[in-house]
């Protein structure tokens, strides 16, 4: 890693323009000077939800995208990983790249085994394309139901994709809003792979942690041992705000304590679509002991669970 890229260093600042692309004017770029976390993660800790964006001049953003981001290169991601004391990344294909996984694959190949990926694929993906993604380090596909991010894909198409990737040992990462879960419950429960739900299914944290909405999500995990959750993105869910995001803590902590072997954590760097507040990535790491209050829980959350899911082969 070039030290010039270190967070806060001269090469760190986000570029809002690249080739033919300009970051949306109502967007915030990633944090210009993340703080060094007080919490020191255990050896082998994984950031299991983060993205690379472009650079757009090299890896163009998809024509069908709903937003144009700032560039966020693989080298910046590695610099953040090292700065935060993490060792590995799981890079999730973001909707601004559609089903063109070239930026993701480029990052995985350059990672020297320190990154795995979650791709987005179209209905017509061939077996050899899936095999090439697998060789690069892809271990899952992402289904996105968040309407501001994507146009709808028919469920039959998604079911077919899940059937195609299951023999590779891949899982499905699924992103939805809590209000959608009643309609999605049976679809999710019937998928034939391990399922990872992004950001706890985006609960409304103004509601009770033991209320009907979050209970449905807990029931999904309780009744379906193949369902995991990311306990990431307090900054997206919180109404009380930074730096503690204290209103999100009871939701994440409940999942970590109830399902300690099926939770993952990630920064979500470079934090797409944030318009009011950009989190300090160091503070996001300091949030981990709030939601995983013992060393044993943190070892599972940051090391054992993501390693088992992504890095055992």
Positions marked active-site: 268
Quick one: how far is CA 35 from the chain centroid?
21
Q: Which is nearer to ligand 0GY, 149 or 184 (CB)?
A: 149
Sign of the four-CA dihedral 94, 98, 103, 106: positive
Peptide bond into 55 cis (omega under 30): yes
What are the structure tokens assigned to 22, written together? 């300009």
Closest CA to 93 of 135, 29, 139: 139
What is the number of alpha carbons within 13 Å of residue 48 lying toward its C-beta? 31
Residues in contact with ligand 0GY by CB under 6 A are 94-96, 149, 175, 198, 236, 268, 272-273
Phi first, then psi, for residue 48 (nearest 5°) are: -95, 10
Least spacing, CB of residue 49 vs ligand 0GY, in Å = 6
Q: How far is the CB of 98 from ligand 0GY (least distance, A)?
A: 10
69 touches 270 (CB < 8 A) = yes
80-107 burial code (b ≥16 CB/10 A, e <16): bbebbbbbbbbbbbbbbbbbbbebbbbb
Terminal-to-terminal C-alpha distance of the chain: 25
CB of 199 to ligand 0GY, least distance (A): 6
Token couple for 290: 């709030």
CA of 109: how far to CAs of 137, 154, 301, in Å?
Answer: 8, 32, 25
Which of residues 150 and 162 has its CB atom nearest to ligand 0GY in the complex? Answer: 150
Cα–Cα dist 112/59, whole Å: 20
Q: Closer to ligand 0GY by CB, 291 or 299: give it.
A: 291
Query: Measured from the CB atom, is 87 or 235 closer to ligand 0GY?
Result: 235
**From the CB of 295, what's the least distance to ligand 0GY, in Å?**
27
Nearer to ligand 0GY, 175 or 259 (CB): 175
């Amino acid at each position: 890693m070039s030290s010039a890229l270190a967070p806060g260093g001269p090469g760190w600042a986000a570029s809002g323009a690249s080739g033919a692309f300009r970051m949306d004017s109502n967007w915030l770029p990633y944090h210009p000077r993340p703080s060094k976390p007080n919490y020191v993660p255990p050896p082998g800790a994984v950031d299991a939800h983060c993205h690379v964006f472009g650079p757009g001049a090299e890896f163009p953003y998809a024509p069908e995208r709903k937003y144009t981001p700032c560039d966020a290169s693989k080298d910046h991601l590695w610099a953040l990983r090292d700065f935060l004391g993490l060792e590995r990344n799981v890079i999730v294909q973001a909707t601004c790249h559609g089903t063109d996984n070239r930026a993701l694959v480029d990052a995985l190949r350059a990672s020297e085994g320190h990154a795995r990926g979650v791709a987005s694929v179209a209905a017509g993906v061939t077996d050899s394309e899936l095999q090439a993604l697998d060789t690069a380090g892809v271990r899952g596909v992402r289904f996105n139901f968040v309407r501001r991010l994507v146009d709808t894909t028919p469920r039959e198409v998604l079911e077919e994709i899940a059937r195609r990737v299951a023999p590779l040992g891949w899982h499905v990462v699924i992103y939805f809003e809590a209000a959608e879960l009643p309609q999605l419950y049976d679809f999710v429960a019937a998928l034939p792979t391990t399922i990872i739900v992004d950001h706890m299914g985006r609960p409304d944290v103004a509601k009770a942690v033991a209320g009907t909405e979050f209970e449905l999500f807990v029931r999904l995990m309780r009744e379906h041992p193949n369902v995991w959750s990311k306990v990431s993105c307090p900054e997206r869910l919180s109404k009380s705000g930074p730096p503690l995001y204290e209103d999100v803590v009871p939701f994440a902590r409940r999942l970590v304590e109830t399902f300690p072997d099926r939770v993952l954590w990630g920064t979500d760097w470079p934090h797409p679509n944030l318009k009011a507040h950009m989190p300090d990535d160091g503070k996001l790491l300091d949030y981990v002991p709030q939601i995983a209050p013992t060393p044993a829980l943190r070892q599972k959350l940051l090391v054992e669970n993501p390693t088992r899911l992504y890095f055992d082969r």
